[in-house]
């Protein structure tokens, strides 16, 4: 049994993952990094003598791995990850930008309004459209100053991303 784990997992986290698998009744557990698993699923292991740079952008992390396949071995030369750069981070960034453009503080929204905004942003993000068209449904009589929609162009998105990654 092979289980993939995030690149940034420590030895302790890997040990706990293996233990959880064994407690679940899975035997002969082997752990590999998620980008390596993605490369194998993509079929890179069927191409002889290749060196690849694999990007794995998930919900919570962005991992990069350099690997080489020489029959029958996959050798990982380097792996690195950023656990503050993933789909969820993009969603939070876009929500913050919508609120900023609407001049609305997050704390002034009730739970259902905030959940509705997150749902609209997530739907726009997952639509794979360019530009992103975020349509936010809300009670107009309670929020007359809010825009009903916002179009986020690719260049705007990457400028926001650069600002948020200046950490």
Domain ranges of the chain: 2-82, 87-164
Contact criterion met (CB below 8 Å) for 39 and 56: no
pLDDT of residue 165: 63
Residues 6+ apart with CB under 8 A from 96: 106
pLDDT of residue 120: 86
Contact criterion met (CB below 8 Å) for 40 and 74: yes
Picking from 11, 17, 16, 10, the residue whose alpha carbon sits closest to that of residue 2 is: 17
pLDDT of residue 45: 61
pLDDT in tens, 9-19: 899 999 999 99
| Under-70 pLDDT residues of the chain | 44-47, 137-149, 164-167
pLDDT of residue 18: 93
For the chain, what percent of residues have pLDDT higher than 90? 13
């Amino acid at each position: 049994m092979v289980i993939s784990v995030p690149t940034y997992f420590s030895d302790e986290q890997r040990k706990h993952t293996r233990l959880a698998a064994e407690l679940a009744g899975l035997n002969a557990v082997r752990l590999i990094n998620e980008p390596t698993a993605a490369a194998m699923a993509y079929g890179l292991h069927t191409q002889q003598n290749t060196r690849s740079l694999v990007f794995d952008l998930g919900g919570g992390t962005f991992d990069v791995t350099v690997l080489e396949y020489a029959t029958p071995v996959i050798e990982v030369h380097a792996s690195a990850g950023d656990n503050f750069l993933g789909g969820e981070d993009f969603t939070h960034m876009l929500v913050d930008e919508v609120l900023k453009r609407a001049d609305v503080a997050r704390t002034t929204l009730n739970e259902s309004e905030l959940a509705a905004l997150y749902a609209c942003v997530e739907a726009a993000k997952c639509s794979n459209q360019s530009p992103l068209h975020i349509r936010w449904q809300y009670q107009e009589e309670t929020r007359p100053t809010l825009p009903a929609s916002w179009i986020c162009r690719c260049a705007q998105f990457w400028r926001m991303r650069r600002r948020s990654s200046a950490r």
